[in-house]
Amino acid sequence: MTERITKSMAKNIYYGGGMFAILVFAGLTFDTIKQIPERSNQATMTESVVHGKALWEKNNCVGCHTILGEGAYFAPELGNVFQRRGASDETTFKAYMLGWMASQPLAIPDRRKMPQFNLTEKEVNAMSDFLIWTSKVDTNEWPPTIEG
């Protein structure tokens, strides 16, 4: 028997491999879509969280920060800032955020400067609610370290 691949064999490998890849892709897509409701934390979304997300977008926070790994890598990851700076206590975190946002930009030499957005207390609390909500999304333990 000769060890040659005929056109017919090559065509069968091509179509069979393509069909296998499509089936694997469809299966993984279905599995991901099935997991979204239980992992997304959507049930706890409030108007304040939605307002905080709108502020996040309006002020282009993603232009410097990452959230759940998405965004720029100029400033810290904020997907887990609630655990890092608020010790998972909402009152402590909101107080921290009010003080932090009011003190910007910090006058520390050679430090990246965060702009002053002049947010009201209500807006900072909405941003805090958004970051608290984000921290409760099941991210499969992302980021791998507490400092992002």
Question: What pLDDT, in 10s, does the model give residues 67-98?
Answer: 988 999 899 999 999 999 988 899 999 999 99
CATH number at 133 reads 1.10.760.10
pLDDT digits (tens, 9 = 90+) for 23-70: 999 999 999 999 988 888 888 999 999 999 999 999 999 999 999 889
Share of the chain residues as helix, strand and coil, in percent rounded to the nearest 5: 55, 5, 40
Q: Copy the structure tokens of residue 98.
A: 């009010």
Radius of gyration of the chain from Cα atoms?
23
Residue 4 shares a structural domain with residue 70 = no
Residue 25 shares a structural domain with residue 79 = no
Domain containing 31: what range?
1-39
The pLDDT, as a whole number, for residue 148 is: 65
Give the chain's domain count.
2
Query: Does residue 28 or residue 110 have the better pLDDT?
Result: 28
Residue 51 shares a structural domain with residue 97 = yes
Residue 24 shares a structural domain with residue 67 = no
Buried b (16+ CB within 10 A) or exposed e, 81-120: bbebebeeeeeebbebbeeebeeeeeeeeeeeebeeeebe
